[in-house]
Structure 1
Amino acid sequence: MESFLVDLMLLRLGRWLRLMGQDVASPKGCSDEEILQKAIDEKRTLLTRDKRLATACLGTGVKCILIRSSRIDEQIEEMAKRGIPLRLDPKRCTICNGPLQEVELSHENIASIEPSEKKLWRCSECQKLYWMGSHWRKIKMKLDDMASRMDLAD
């Protein structure tokens, strides 16, 4: 699976891609040169809206995708056209990109989740807890709607 690196202009897209199961790093407070070096070191595809940064990738061996739109829906659709499935896939933490691991329901985590939810995931890096609550259902509906509009439904 391809791994990505988003610049500061595309942090929101990075979170959405993580919701869709993609490995997306997002360095904070880095210069363009540091971002480019991170893409080289980690062999990540760089996603950017910065034409100058995209141009700097030429000749470095870094694959770069210049995202044209500033609208999140259009950015997601652009990635879908490049083969990213438009489906909710809880594999990555939306905050830190750490891998999610399914965990058992316990007294320790039961207070913070909806009573009807049985599946839980915990980030192995930052320990954030995830479950398929109403927020995730809304995200799934949005992705399904986008897929049907684009005729990409599973």
Structure 2
Amino acid sequence: MVCATFRFYGELNDFLPRERKGREITTPCARMATTKHMIEALGVPHTEVELVLVNGDCAGLDLPLEEGDRVAVYPHFTRFDVSDLRPAPSLPPGRICFVADAHLGGLARLLRMAGFDTIYDNSLSGDQVEALAADQERVVLTRDRALLKRRGIDFGCYVRAQRPEAQLHDLFEHFGLAERARPFTRCLHDNAPLRSVAKAEVLDRLPPQVAAVQDEFNTCDLCGRVYWKGSHWQRMSAVLARAAQ
């Protein structure tokens, strides 16, 4: 067994008990314990970590700890580019897609509205969320700290805000989503892609007042819902604009 000293910075202190916030923590470590193992043992999900320094040098989450190591752990940076410092990855390569836990239905709907592939079902268990994250390289969104510590979850985010609009704003800032957004390209109800459709094809599904004034429509081939640029579209456009600020 070895001892190492940890110091957590910024919002990572939210995960620590009061007596450990903002100060050095010297603790025994199990034999061959890695930085990831001990960071999570101290209460911080690895998905919330962007940069780890061990004795002043950049280190991965899989580095075995040695006697006397000093470990500095930093959250995701939003104002500084630390890519040259080899931070821990916060997003999977390629397209970004999410799976939201049972408490984040409102956020999931807003993410779909912004065009992001987002699985949400309030009956999903923790095991199912973990499996979706591992099999499809989805970013887990949750207010359950323990869920983010599961071995099969490589990418995730602890959602701090309470209201869906505030949650969306935080995610846009956290992951830099504004440039990736493709608003109004997914069904809000079942997450399927929308397609443009001629008015004549959906005329029998339109309220008369909509048919009289609207000419551009999208539809979901999975559930059959039809979308147009009405008052709801205008309100949601404003929500997305505020999220991207």
TM over 0.5: yes
RMSD: 2.0
Match of 1:133 in 2: 230
Q: Please report the TM-score for the alignment, with normalisation by the length of structure 2.
A: 0.55
Residue 18 of structure 1 pairs with residue 112 of structure 2: yes
Higher normalized helix content (fraction of residues) = 1
Equivalent pairs: percent with the same residue? 26
Q: Distance in 1 between matches of 2:112 and 2:189?
A: 9
Contact 1:27-1:35 within 8 A present in 2 as well:
no
Q: Distance in 1 between matches of 2:153 and 2:239?
A: 35
Q: Please report the TM-score for the alignment, with normalisation by the length of structure 1.
A: 0.85
Match of 1:69 in 2: 161
What is the one-letter code of the residue matched to 1:111?
P
Q: Distance in 2 between matches of 1:132 and 1:97?
A: 19
Number of positions where the alignment pairs a residue of Structure 1 with one of Structure 2? 146
Query: Which of 143, 150, 165 pairs up with 1:49?
Result: 143
Contact 1:32-1:53 within 8 A present in 2 as well:
yes
| Deviates most, 89-98 or 110-119 | 110-119
Alpha-carbon displacement from aligned partner over 1:25-55 (angstroms, at most 9, x marks no partner): 1133121111111221222111111111112
Query: Which of 169, 177, 182 pairs up with 1:84?
Result: 177
Q: Distance in 1 between matches of 2:224 and 2:208?
A: 14
What is the one-letter code of the residue matched to 2:223?
C
Q: Which runs of 5+ in 1 are unaligned?
A: none
Does 1 or 2 have the higher relative contact order (CA < 8 Å, sep 6+)?
1
- Which structure 1 residue ranges, 4+ long, deviate > 3 Å from structure 2? 109-113
Q: Distance in 1 between matches of 2:139 and 2:229?
A: 29
Q: Which runs of 5+ in 2 are unaligned?
A: 1-94
